[in-house]
Structure 1
């Protein structure tokens, strides 16, 4: 990586390369969909999750010296004090969808430098969509509220009270939707992890959404691995540039 570039430019270059990697890996990922095991929490993981995480780590370490890599599929980087370059990666979010051959799954990458966010990406490879920090967006206009898939009494009550609602089974899909205006709102009252959320929350701030984490306005801070965070994101159409 050319260190004369700004951290934001370095991050964008790495994120674009990561997106290219995902597209190149799609045939291999499709062949690994049925290679599923269950984690201790009864959630699925496929060989494709492991492949994306491994390949993304190799690519990102080639772009950044002394990178702290935080990935969902092992504890590497979880306990490190974030400093210098940090990459938080969810290799396949919506693994249940992915393993079921549904296209609503994606990859999330968020990059920090010296404690400050410098770039994020959400990619939905089978849907042909991606959003990287700095991309231009033509916003849709929706009345639909997306909910997380972890059903609780609170979520069931809110679902019943929301006329236009969807449960899509992938946080990155929901976050892409609300950032681009395809959803008016995304609510996760159960809580999700930093790798599920960071890229989408940062992109939501960039696109003038209202972002609430654990009942407080989100300021873009780094979220610690292994902790669940409750979130609400509202697409604010009145905040678009005129």
Structure 2
């Protein structure tokens, strides 16, 4: 089977210098978050590829939102893209940002990818993975000061501000767990959720075990990923 995620990441690598050079070209979106021209370039590169290689698939991307008057088909064919996850990190000059892709054909997951370009870190469905043991809990950057003051004692916590980084760390066991209790969009979490299934992690979406289904941009989802220790044996 053709590995589309691999081919897309190779295209992004070829344009990485240009993408990074655009981190200072930013606009403020209605929700007060940033979008950079780097985000838009990644989206264009992926869209151009899909038009050639997967023309029957519809692109769901953060920078195409909002999706109004769209009828979603649970058995349809979609590519879900977060062109730059952690844009706040990206435009601030931090390296902890990533690109997330999940491909569904006729409602079935085919492959996913998390690519952290400036950290030179890449994982695609089917790749081997080194597993770790950790006492660190990863947290979402959406937490308020009051939320932080209520955290359980006895653990180390990390707030990185990039869902792709956080979810990949949780699947690898570099975090004991990662949780977002405020809710995030489908493009923020689908690659990590599918890696969690592949690598025997506990993955909850709104408190229910994730089964590999596509999630649509109709709501925000609360997620929790925890490494199962038996997978490390």
TM-score in terms of structure 1 length: 0.90
Among 211, 229, 237, the alignment partner of 2:229 is 237
Q: Distance in 2 between matches of 1:160 and 1:171?
A: 21
| Contact 1:70–1:76, Cα closer than 8 Å, also in 2 | no
2:76/2:106 contact within 8 Å kept: yes
Counterpart in 2 of 1:54? 44
1:93 Cα deviation (Å)? 0.1
Alignment of 1:39 with 2:21, yes or no, is: no
Q: Deviations over 1:66-88 (max 9, x none)?
A: 11111110138772423443100
* Structure 1 residue matching 2:63: 3-state secondary structure: coil
Query: Alpha-carbon deviations, 1:88-123, whole Å to 9, x = none?
Result: 000000000000110000000000011111110000
Contact 1:209 1:233 in 2 (8 A): yes
Q: Tell me, what secondary structure is at the counterpart of 2:78?
A: strand
Q: How many residues align?
A: 231
- For 2:57, the equivalent position in structure 1 comes to 67
Structure 2: how far apart are the matches of 1:233 and 1:38?
A: 31
Choose which of 65, 82, 89 in structure 1 pairs with 2:81.
89
Matched, 1:28 2:27: no
The root-mean-square deviation of aligned C-alpha atoms, in Å, is: 1.7
2:178 to 173, 186, 203: 186
Partner of 1:5: none
Give TM-score, length-normalised by structure 2.
0.93
Secondary structure, counterpart of 1:91 in structure 2: strand
Structure 2 distance, partners of 1:139, 1:173, is 15
Name structure 2 gaps, 5 residues minimum. none
